[in-house]
Amino acid sequence: MHTNNIDKDSAQIMAFSSSKSYITNYNPIIFTFVAFFLIVSSSSSSSSGLDSGSRIPANQTFRPRHELHKLKRIRSYLRNINKPAVKTIQSSDGDIIDCVQSHLQPAFDHPKLKGHKPLEPPAERPKRHDLNDSVSESFQSWTNNGESCPEGSIPIRRTTEKDVLRANSIRRFGKKIRRGVRRDTMSSDHEHAVGFVNGEEYYGAKASINVWAPHVTDQYEFSLSQLWVISGSFGNDLNTIEAGWQVSPELYGDNFPRFFTYWTTDAYQATGCYNLLCSGFVQINHKIAIGAAISPRSSYNTKQFDIGIMIWKDPKHGHWWLEFGQGLLVGYWPSFLFSHLQRHASMIQFGGEIVNTRSMGYHTSTQMGSGHFAEEGFRKASYFRNLQVVDWDNSLIPLSNLHLLADHPNCYDIRAGKNNVWGNYFYYGGPGRNSRCP
């Protein structure tokens, strides 16, 4: 997976003299609208999952009947989700990457895709308004030894029994579970520092996202940085397409930042999933494994790396395509998956989110971004840069009215600015628990 190494000259340009800071002090109607989305879109991270003490050793001969039944169901699920491989790669970070023939990937289990093959790339991509950029490229950990999947196949991170056992159930595994909508963001266990635009018709979005490895203190918490493409009434018909990086010990079993995708068409109730853990997203690229670790990562006050993400709607066929890095097409979400997003998006959102379970009785120390507040700036705080949206003419354009929201600003905050090198950008994040965030 490609990451971008930001030229150190950029540091001299990222002064905050022209930046602005927003927390929650603006139109209450917009705040309620965004806060409602943030709660609906939050994933369940309750601590009711199995801990290591409740897992069943593989060599244990006597098991209660209900445990045997659960294992039987899990193994049946794994046989369905893990497709036959033409090649298997053992990654240095512990992942197993299966190279699966592209027409056998999970997407083609969908009734509307059975018997199909991946589409050819769209003839036209959004017309670019790229700014000057100085980057170096790197790959995912599984490619570090020169390994790759052959043409005609795609790399898929193998799902293991341990992966599923960390979740509370097969139904929950790989999904964002809606536990009821609370309109008061302050009472939620999901906390955000985000920028968003709304009020127009959007046909895609693009951003470069700084990559870190934030510390996540509880197995049932996560820290992510992503962009959202959103449409719907923010009720049961909410449609979203999401991509970015996340640290999720529950989903992956470690603390590595991993490239991920998500989609839903009914507010996270029955449809959609992370990565390729259900039928839906169609991958066409044989170099990128969705769900695999990103390498290298940024370090405090040293080299910085970011990843480019673009999602856009092909004007000819209507499918939503995903581009990674410097022009690598990953794949697409077929338009028939969605209701409102068959037409266009009504909101684009960028930023960070964490889960705060308060498992110790006080605010979590799970970090967002780099774990440092926005005011520290380049090489210290995490950033999004070159924020753009795709308009009706399939052109990338700068943001015209970026709103910022930090719903727990003493724990995680956000500051934005604009210049000729990074275009629209913001710094965001924080350490979580501190003297002002007990």
Q: Is residue 42's pLDDT more than 70? A: no
Strand blocks (E) in 276-371: 282-283, 305-313, 320-324, 328-333, 345-355
293 or 38: which carries more pLDDT confidence? 293
Task: Kindly report, residue by residue over 46-99, the tens digit of the pLDDT.
Answer: 333 333 333 444 444 556 887 888 889 999 999 999 999 999 999 999 999 999
Structure confidence at residue 54 (pLDDT): 38
Q: Is the pLDDT of residue 276 over 90?
A: yes
Q: Look at residue 109 and give its three-state secondary structure.
A: helix
- Confidence grade of residue 37 (pLDDT, cut at 50, 70, 90): low
Catalytic, out of 191, 323, 353, 376: 353
242 catalytic residue (yes or no): yes
Does the pLDDT of residue 296 top 50, yes or no? yes
Q: What CA–CA distances, in Å, run from 336 to 111, 214, 342, 388?
A: 11, 36, 7, 26
Amino acid letter at 336?
F
d(CA 322, CA 206): 10
* More confidently predicted of 108 and 51: 108
List, for residues 209-254, the tens digit of each pLDDT value. 999 999 999 999 999 999 999 999 877 899 999 999 999 999 999 9
pLDDT for residue 398:
95
| Highest mean pLDDT pick, 160-174, 179-193, 213-227 | 213-227
Evaluate the CA torsion angle 156, 173, 264, 387 in order and state its sign.
negative
Whether residue 281 contacts residue 320, with contact meaning beta carbons closer than 8 Å, is answered with no
- Would you say how long the chain is, in residues? 438
Catalytic residue among 221, 242, 250, 323: 242
Specify whether 353 is catalytic: yes
pTM: 0.86
* Sheet bearing 258-264, strands edge to edge: 258-264, 239-247, 223-231, 345-355, 190-202, 403-406
DSSP E strand boundaries for 215-344: 223-231, 239-247, 258-264, 282-283, 305-313, 320-324, 328-333
When comparing pLDDT for 64 and 373, which is higher? 373
